[in-house]
Structure 1
């Protein structure tokens, strides 16, 4: 019970004068999906970072719906799955609809999150889809040789050093990675089919990792309509208040302490920029 409701229950006649409005709670899922952001990280999505926002959103009294505001180029598949499953768990417990709204990008893991909703909407300029799996890295063997650095690596287990960036790439390691990608891709495709059902078309390029603008995504069945959060929510729930559920701030941020170490901050920035740049952002 809220403070207003408690006061209303104790003061005769006040309850009749208190306006009780329905609520549509909004959760912002903005950023790269990553399992290990820094203590002061912003724009990173993982279950630990969004748990409090989700529980606050679904915990509203007189809750009519929950809206997911998604702007993400994707990232870690496990965190995508964990967050999406948590959304479905809370939605089933509360018995409320979930609407997803794609902003600039809802691609790869970002689209995985969108599929946790019962309906998906996008702007006509939004980039949606990228149902595929990607990983990348660098090889430093030539650099080590140039500076006369000797790599010393000792393992127990024949496959312990797979894809080591300081060792020459092995064909068998690449084949192993491709098989892993194929398995993750199959899980992704099955999730999309489970959530979208017969709304999907049978287009051959639907699961190739391609990305589409809003109108094309609508034709393919990846989304249910074009429109913004405020537009759709106002039409569906004209008498409801829109309430943004903010996550609990990290401890160091609440204490007002300084930024993360420079090297770590630069690396995080480069990694996130690389993820966004695949979509021209």
Structure 2
């Protein structure tokens, strides 16, 4: 095995599909037709730039057949939009799993330096290298079903032919590391980790709310819709039409994120257990961990080891746990 020095910011399943598609495409397309520039699409004084499929540094047979987007094309369209006095805002419309790392950092910096407001809209996916570009925009708005994240780098290796004989110069043993050994893998791993370090550092600078600790906590995983907003990967939920009409992205309510991990992070787990115990009182439902028992005989009761006075009416405000009980009864009809 040899390290090909090609690195991709792309989920594994998408990378495998990419190679399969490339192998099936015809090789009869001329180079000149593959590098034909795209036309800038504008609407309501806003430029819309599509970022679809796998990302490549330059146009190739895959971008020609619609399986990807060239970073060079995005750069050209961004430059055109920036110089057009009729364009007041630039919208990048993402549906991409990522792609080649080469050129992404440069383009992200160019997007960040734009002299006009930029918005990233994600309808399907903005993962890995594609998310890097989205993070460079002033705002990220996503559909409720959009997928964001997959922050990491994949190194691609190719197998050596058994008939190949390589002689590496004495002072460059790491030029062709033997990946069948721990030492060789360590060299290759260091290359991938170095690229990831640049990726993570760039994201934390592009989006201050997305700290390096929060990125590392994702572990290369993705988040969907409201959970992506909660994780700091996006600014809000919305639609492309809403962006074009100047609507503000909506912030999902934290209560909509019914996730044990998020509940625990916000200290909601104990309160949720108490509510569960209250609703199950007297019916043989086992209380949650946060509540030991509920007894309501003779107008008094216990909740989590604390005694309270039961309100005489559902609407009575007694403060403390009594007021909470009254509210829960009104909400849940118990």
| Residue aligned with 1:102, SS | strand
The answer for unaligned runs of 5 or more in structure 2 is: 1-42, 249-334
Structure with bigger gyration radius: 2
Which residue of structure 1 aligns with residue 10 of structure 2? none
Greater alpha carbon shift after TM alignment, 37-46 vs 47-56: 37-46
Task: Please give the alpha-carbon distance, in whole angstroms, between the structure 2 residues aligned to 1:218 and 1:46.
Answer: 28
Q: Deviations over 1:152-172 (max 9, x none)?
A: 223333222235xxxx62221
Q: Deviations over 1:98-138 (max 9, x none)?
A: 10011221011010010110100111111101111222335
Which residue of structure 1 aligns with residue 200 of structure 2? 189
Which residue of structure 2 aligns with residue 176 of structure 1? 187
Pair 1:28-2:43 in alignment: no
Runs of 4+ in 1 over 4 A off after TM superposition: 199-205
The answer for unaligned runs of 5 or more in structure 1 is: 1-20, 145-149, 238-281
Task: Please give the alpha-carbon distance, in whole angstroms, between the structure 1 residues aligned to 2:237 and 2:223.
Answer: 13
Pair 1:231-2:253 in alignment: no
Task: Please give the alpha-carbon distance, in whole angstroms, between the structure 1 residues aligned to 2:111 and 2:137.
Answer: 8
Task: Please give the alpha-carbon distance, in whole angstroms, between the structure 2 residues aligned to 1:155 and 1:204.
Answer: 38
Matching residue within 69, 78, 82 for 2:102: 78
Which residue of structure 2 aligns with residue 162 of structure 1? 177
Matching residue within 135, 157, 160 for 1:137: 157
| Aligned-CA RMSD value | 2.6
Greater alpha carbon shift after TM alignment, 125-134 vs 181-190: 181-190
Pair 1:152-2:165 in alignment: yes
Equivalenced residue count is 202
Pair 1:117-2:128 in alignment: no
Q: Is the 8 A contact 2:120 2:134 kept in 1?
A: yes
| Higher strand fraction (1 or 2) | 2
TM-score w.r.t. structure 2 length? Answer: 0.54
Task: Please give the alpha-carbon distance, in whole angstroms, between the structure 2 residues aligned to 1:188 and 1:197.
Answer: 14
Which residue of structure 2 aligns with residue 127 of structure 1? 147
The one of the two structures with greater contact order (alpha-carbon pairs below 8 A, sep at least 6) is 1
TM-score w.r.t. structure 1 length? Answer: 0.64
